Structure formats: C-alpha cells, structure tokens
C-alpha cells in the first residue's frame, strides 16, 4: 500500500484491498515523471513517499523447535518490520542486508503476518535515483537450533601457486550449550562437482552459544580465478549431532593471488594486469532499482564485450546478485560503502544516520561480501567532505579498523578529490592501503612524487557526456558543459541533447580518449573506473528538468552502446574492431565529420560512393581518425588495413523513408520462472532494412501467451514517457521492450505496430 497507515502493523489489519505483487519491487519506477516531486530531477523526478508491505504465511508444527529468520538484502529506505504485531527493528540504510529472528513470536499451524513499513519520504536524500521499497530479495530461512551463523564462514587463500593452494576456513557455529559434541566435516568442491580436498572430522564442544572452527586444507594444482577464467570452488561444512546432520553450509570462493605495487600497478596471479573498469549505479533502467538477475547479467555481458574487466559499486554496497555474477564472469570489484559520512551532500541523506549506524552497516557489508573472489578492493567512501578537516583523520582510522578486524586480505581505499597531501585529511590518516583519485588527470604524472611509495588507482574518471545517435559539428572542438561551478548552465542544445562525438564533458572531467590515455601511459596507475558504464536515472548533468537521467554512460539507459563504446573495445580487447560513424542521412552539401575507431591495423581508408576520400592513421596518442566530408546520399565505407592487407570493412548507408519495424531479441528462449527476461530491440527501418536514424515513431506493443511487458525505454535522457507501459516512441530509430516470463511453460508472442509502418511479431519460448 502506498501511503502511511499507523495500524497496518497489526495482525488483524484488513489488507484485502491492497495490491498483490512480487518482490523485489520498486514503487518509484511505476510513477510518473514530474518536476514537482521532492526527489527533484537529480533523483529522476519520480515519486518516493511511504509504503507498506504485508505477507501472511503458515508454518507447520515441525518448525516449532527450529530457528526462523527473515532476511532482507536491501530495503530503500528507513525500513521497520513487525511479526504478528511485535516490533523487530529499524534499518535506515537502504543498501545494507540484514535479518531478524522471528522465532520467539511465531504461531505454528496458524497464520503469521509480517508487516514492513518503508519510509522514503524525507527528501532529497540522494544525488541520484534510489528507488523505493523492498527492492532486493527477501526470504525466510529455517535452521536447526545449532547452525552456522549468518555470514558465518570466511575462506581465505594465504598461499597460492600453480602447484598448491592453502585454503583457510573459519566457521562460526551458534546454538545452545550442550554436553553432546558436534562433528564437523568440511570438503572443497570444484565447479564440476569433483571433490578436491577434505578435512578430517572435527569434534566441536558447544560449551558456549558460539563456537569458532578453524581449518586448513590444501588444494593441489588449483585452477586460479582470473578475469579470463573465473574458476570457482565451493566449501561445504556439515555439522552432525548423534550421527544426524543438523546443518550444511556452503561458501563459494576463488583461488587467486594479487597485490598492488607502487611502480607496477595491479598484479593478479603474478602477472601485471590493468584494471579496466566502470562505475555503475544500482538502477536497471526501465526496471528501476528492483533487482533482476538477468538484467544485471545483460549489463555485464555488454561491458565484458567492450573489454571491461572491473566494476566499482558506486557508491554503496550492491545487490548480492551482482557480486555472484562478477564472481562467475570475471570482474574486479571495488565494493564501496558510503557516499557521505557525517557531513551531508543532501539535506536528508545518510549523514543523519552515520554516527549511530556506520559501524553496524560497514560490519554487515564486509561480513556478507568478504568471500566473493571478485572483490579486490574495499572503498570506505566517495568524495567525502571530511577530506577538508581533521575529522577525516579520525573517521578514516575508525572505518579502516572496522574492516581490518574482519578482513585483512584486501586493500582499503577511498575515492579522493584532493591530490595535495597537506590539504587532504583522509590521506593524512595514513590508514589507506590504496589511494584512489577522482579526475584531475593532469596531476597523474606527479602523484608518485607527491605520495611517495603509495599504490594508486584512478577511482573515477571522465564524466564525459553523450546522447546516443546525436551529432553536432564541428567535432574537433571541446564542449565543457557545465564550464564551472559558479554560474547556472544556460547554453547547450535546445533539445537537451549532447553530441555523441567524444568531445563533451563536465568541467571536472575530460573526454574518454584523453582520460584513458592519461591512465594508459602510467604503469603506476593500477587502472581506472570510468564514470560511468551505463547511463543511470537521475543526475542529468549538464541539464536540469526536463532531463531526468544521466549523460555519462558509455552505454545508454536502454542498453544501446554509444559510439565511444567502440573506442574502448578497440583499446581494451584483442578482437579486430572497426566502427564508422555518424549515420549518413544529412542535408545535401552539409559538411559532416566522419570518425572511425579501429585496432589491429595501421590505417583506415574512407570511400564515398566508391571514391576514396583518403587514408588516415592515428597520430600520437589519438585513438580515432577523422575525415571532413560534404554529404551526398549513398554509401560511406571504411577499410582498415595492416601491412597493406584488409582487416575489416564497415559501411554506413543512407536510409530511405521509414517503412517497417524490426524486432531482435537478445534471447528467444527464457526460463518460465516469472523472473527471466528477454530484451527485444525495436528498429524503425526503410524498405531495405536500414535503420532510419531520426525515426521517432510511437510504437505500440501487445503480448500473448506466457509473458508480460516488464518495461520499455529508448535511451533518451529527456523522455517523460512511463517505463511501465505498452508503448514507446523510438529515439533515433531505436527503442527497447523488455518481456518477462510468467510461471508457465509456453510461447510468448510480442507484436509491435505503428501508424504507417509494417508491423512485426516475434515469438519467444518460456521453458
């Protein structure tokens, strides 16, 4: 229920008129865009407020002698929970996982009711879109009275080489005091199910309510976790009492060695490796903040294909699904805790709760996440205001101490803005293991002199801006939007777009090309995290309303790559790349700047309707080539060559009048679990199948069968059309519709139609 009702926590409350829904859920994304919402355009101009959730269930009598918990992976924000009218507690932080013990208050063979109040009414409380509600997974867990504690296993690999790895396992068992000993059996399994190590049975005496078990196992010829081959192992610890199993606890981990070096940067498994990362906020575009595993996986697949090998969870702990996928897919994660400490960035943000809650929140983050092999860096904050006074020294030491009491295997950083040592009080704590610097690339060359012996990483870079498919001439002059912090940004484009040539950026940032070169040339820079991987909801720099999502992404909000995606692909991958842009639909005679990104080649030659317009090579640090061409309709072709031999050929063709709709699904077969998704690209094409680059037709969608429309989008930062709808205007020839399965096997038929265009259908299978 949206709105506040102080009696909704009562077991006898009448909720029969409430909406029934599935979790995870984000109610803000279902709302309408409006600049009157107190969230403001910085949080995407979507509603927040207060909401209630209720769930009733019956437990069998067999559960009476067990422990029953409810686990929340994240609730935004200020959640309060009741069971059968009993108040369980409050968690203000919307990004932290937590649990409550329901056992003392339960009924057996009778109805139990959980009520959750979510209060996101105090606004503004963020610099970007947060979502509202129980937006991450929630589940009941039933255990025996003796069991491994929540997040109770910690696996480390202190000695790793190709011949053997030492695996240390610390397991915390909780329960009632007992004179009967427990037997613990621990085994290690590889992904294929083969057991690779086993510890001899250990007797545990439950002479207190918590017992710690420490074990050491050896794995011979281990398969090491890397970004190319992210091999995973699993520890299984089983507890037996009187020969009967009372608990089985699994912990996924990876075997790898790594370190950061002041001169060489990052070294993984004894090989130097540049961290090629992006920063990502937690929203999933049209799906909002509600976690969906397939949507996260799709984002990571797109980034992996670009050559990206790292994710910074800007600027809070992520959903566990993201970390699981990073483990499996091979990403180097900087797991970040806070965007602010005691000093605020917004009037109602976490600074209100920091003093009371930071210790508990940080401990819970580390305990939950410390077994993930993808996590290589803990970050205690982003652009923290305490850099500027001595409280930064005290708080930094406190936060670092909290983490090191729980994990000493990873370095701790903080994303800093100030690179003058005497002006940075967080640095002056001398508690950080790794110095992260945001922007100010001109200072990189001098960082080893300013911070001698320190290990370094570009924790946030670029803040370059672009709207997919928009091109402003000339392309070889920079647009600094906004130019500074002193006056409102009043210029820009009348339609609130930004050119997709890599030449627009905020005053604190730089172009992608210049920023990447600044990191690329210095071995001592361990790597970088580009701001940002995907456009995200909120923070629409340089504009204000009606802009409601960011321009920073290498990939737009709908998941369509912008042109600069291929710059990174040409630099960050070994596969041959040749990308030609812009589109080739212009007014006759207009002078158009034509760019190409390429790799694995010495040169590129451009042809217009068969005539050569010249051969170009990339001079110096330049990563693209450019021709200035007077437009005439036809075919623009680029050929890349190495040692005179053709590597790749790409063409851009002048499109005719819009004639039809094309549908292309990223997957035609999905799981019938009520959660799986197919992302279907919708193209407006001419009679030859060429995308019409300025098409903006309104596309209507209908679905038959075992699926539904979960969201629609087109990547335009100023679109105020709803995400939860059966229609969407194309933007620059494209939009997307997200189809979600129901809970039955069967076909799903999506139809797309628009006035004046030939309709299209596509059939999916849910199984």
Beta-carbon-side half-sphere exposure of residue 619 (alpha carbons within 13 Å): 3
Asked if 692 and 679 touch (Cβ cutoff 8 Å), the reply is no
| Tokens representing residue 162 in the block | 């190709």
Compute the distance between CA of residue 765 and CA of residue 767 in angstroms, rounded to an integer: 6
CA-nearest of 224, 234, 231, 322 to 270 is: 224
Compute the distance between CA of residue 682 and CA of residue 760 in angstroms, rounded to an integer: 9
Asked if 330 and 278 touch (Cβ cutoff 8 Å), the reply is no
Asked if 111 and 56 touch (Cβ cutoff 8 Å), the reply is yes
3 state SS for 153-197? EEEEEEEECCCEEEEEEEEEEECCCCCCCEEEEEEEEECCCCEEE
| Tokens representing residue 584 in the block | 């080739």
Query: Could you tell me if residue 722 is left (phi over 0), alpha (psi between -120 and 50 degrees) or otherwise beta?
Result: beta
Compute the distance between CA of residue 265 and CA of residue 437 in angstroms, rounded to an integer: 14
| Tokens representing residue 137 in the block | 């997974």
| Tokens representing residue 234 in the block | 């699993």
Dihedral angle computed from the Cα positions of residues 492, 498, 499 and 503, in that order, rounded to the nearest 10 degrees? 80
Name the residue with tokens 């292309």.
664
Compute the distance between CA of residue 413 and CA of residue 401 in angstroms, rounded to an integer: 13
Name the residue with tokens 């904050």.
381
| Tokens representing residue 712 in the block | 């629609």
- Active-site residues: which are they? 383, 460
First to last CA, the chain: 33
Asked if 220 and 162 touch (Cβ cutoff 8 Å), the reply is no
Compute the distance between CA of residue 538 and CA of residue 549 in angstroms, rounded to an integer: 4
Compute the distance between CA of residue 217 and CA of residue 187 in angstroms, rounded to an integer: 9
Three-class SS state of 568: helix
CA-nearest of 564, 550, 535, 560 to 682 is: 560
DSSP readout, 312-327?
E-TTS---HHHHHHHH
Report the greatest alpha carbon distance in the chain.
91
Q: What are the phi and psi torsion angles at 92 (to 5°)?
A: -70, -40
Asked if 59 and 106 touch (Cβ cutoff 8 Å), the reply is yes
| Interior angle at CA 540, CA 538 and CA 543, nearest 5 | 145
Asked if 338 and 315 touch (Cβ cutoff 8 Å), the reply is yes
Query: Could you tell me if residue 175 is left (phi over 0), alpha (psi between -120 and 50 degrees) or otherwise beta?
Result: left
User: Cα–Cα distances in Å, from 159 out to 162, 181, 218, 255, 271?
Assistant: 10, 32, 10, 9, 16
Name the residue with tokens 């993201």.
322
Compute the distance between CA of residue 510 and CA of residue 517 in angstroms, rounded to an integer: 11
CA-nearest of 471, 501, 461, 467 to 625 is: 501
Compute the distance between CA of residue 498 and CA of residue 588 in angstroms, rounded to an integer: 23
Total Cβ atoms within 10 A of residue 93: 27
Helix (H) or strand (E) holding 449: helix 447-450
| Tokens representing residue 723 in the block | 């995400």
């Amino acid at each position: 229920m949206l709105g506040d009702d102080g009696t909704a926590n009562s077991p006898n409350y009448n909720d029969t008129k409430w909406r029934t829904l599935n979790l995870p859920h984000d109610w803000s994304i279902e709302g309408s865009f409006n600049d009157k919402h107190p969230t403001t355009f910085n949080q995407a101009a979507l509603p927040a407020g207060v909401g209630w959730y209720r769930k009733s269930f019956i437990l069998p009598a067999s559960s009476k002698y067990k422990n029953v918990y409810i686990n929340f992976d994240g609730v935004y924000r200020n959640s309060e929970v009741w069971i059968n009218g009993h108040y369980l507690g409050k968690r203000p932080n919307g990004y932290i996982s937590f649990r409550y013990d329901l056992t003392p208050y339960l009924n057996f063979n009778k109805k139990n009711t959980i009520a959750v109040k979510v209060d996101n009414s105090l606004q503004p409380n963020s610099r970007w879109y947060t979502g509202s509600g129980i937006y991450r997974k929630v589940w009941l867990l039933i255990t025996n009275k003796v069991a491994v504690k929540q997040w109770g296993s910690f696996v480390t690999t202190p000695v790793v080489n190709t011949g053997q790895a030492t695996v240390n396992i610390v397991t915390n068992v909780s329960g009632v005091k007992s004179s009967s000993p427990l037997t613990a059996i621990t085994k290690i399994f590889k992904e294929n199910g083969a057991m690779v190590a086993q510890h001899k049975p250990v007797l545990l005496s439950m002479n207190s309510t918590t017992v710690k078990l420490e074990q050491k196992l050896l794995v011979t010829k281990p398969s090491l976790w890397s970004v190319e081959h992210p091999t995973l192992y699993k520890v299984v610890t089983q507890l037996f009492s009187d020969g009967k199993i009372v608990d089985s606890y699994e912990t996924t981990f990876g075997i790898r060695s790594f370190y950061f070096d002041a001169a060489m940067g990052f070294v993984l498994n004894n090989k130097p490796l540049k961290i090629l990362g992006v920063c990502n906020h937690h929203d999933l575009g049209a799906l909002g903040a509600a976690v969906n595993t397939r949507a996260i996986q799709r984002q990571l697949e797109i980034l992996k294909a670009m050559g990206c090998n790292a994710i910074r969870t800007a600027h809070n702990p992520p959903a566990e699904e993201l970390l699981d996928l990073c483990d499996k897919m091979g990403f180097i994660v900087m797991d970040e805790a806070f965007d602010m400490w005691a000093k605020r960035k917004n009037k109602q943000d976490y600074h209100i709760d920091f003093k009371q809650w930071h210790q508990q929140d940080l401990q819970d983050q580390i305990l939950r996440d410390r077994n993930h092999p993808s996590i290589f860096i803990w970050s205690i904050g982003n652009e923290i205001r305490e850099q500027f006074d001595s409280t930064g020294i005290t708080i930094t030491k406190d936060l670092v101490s909290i983490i090191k009491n729980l994990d000493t295997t990873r370095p701790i950083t903080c994303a800093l803005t100030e690179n003058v040592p005497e002006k940075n009080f967080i640095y002056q704590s001398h508690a950080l293991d790794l110095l992260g610097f945001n922007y100010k690339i001109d200072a990189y060359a001098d960082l080893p002199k300013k911070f001698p012996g320190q290990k370094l990483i570009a924790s946030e870079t670029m803040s370059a801006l672009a709207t997919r498919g928009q091109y402003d001439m000339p392309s070889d002059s920079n647009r600094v939007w906004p130019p500074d912090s002193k006056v409102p940004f009043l210029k820009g484009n009348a339609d609130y777009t930004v050119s997709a040539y890599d030449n627009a950026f905020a005053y604190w940032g730089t172009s992608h090309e210049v920023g990447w070169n600044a990191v690329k040339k210095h071995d001592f820079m361990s790597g970088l995290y580009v701001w940002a991987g995907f456009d995200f909801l909120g923070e629409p720099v340089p504009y204000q309303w009606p802009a409601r999502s960011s321009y920073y992404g290498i990939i737009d909000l709908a998941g369509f790559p912008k042109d600069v995606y291929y710059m990174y692909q040409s630099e960050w991958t070994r596969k041959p790349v040749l990308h030609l842009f812009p589109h080739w639909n212009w007014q006759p005679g207009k002078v158009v700047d034509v760019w190409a990104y390429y790799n694995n080649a010495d040169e590129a030659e451009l042809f217009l309707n068969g005539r050569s317009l010249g051969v170009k090579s990339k001079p110096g640090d330049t990563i693209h080539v450019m021709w200035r061409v007077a437009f005439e309709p036809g075919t623009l072709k680029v050929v890349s060559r190495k040692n005179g031999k053709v590597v790749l050929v790409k063409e851009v063709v002048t499109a005719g009048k819009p004639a039809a709709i094309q549908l292309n699904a990223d997957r035609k077969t999905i799981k019938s679990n009520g959660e799986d998704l197919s992302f279907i690209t919708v193209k407006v094409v001419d009679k030859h199948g060429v995308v019409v680059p300025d098409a903006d037709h309104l596309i209507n969608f209908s679905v038959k069968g075992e699926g539904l429309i979960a969201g629609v989008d087109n990547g335009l930062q100023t679109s105020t059309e709803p995400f939860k709808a059966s229609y969407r205007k194309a933007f620059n020839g494209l939009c997307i519709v997200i189809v979600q399965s129901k809970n039955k096997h069967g076909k799903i038929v999506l139809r797309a139609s628009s006035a004046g265009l030939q309709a299209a259908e596509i059939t999916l299978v849910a199984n």
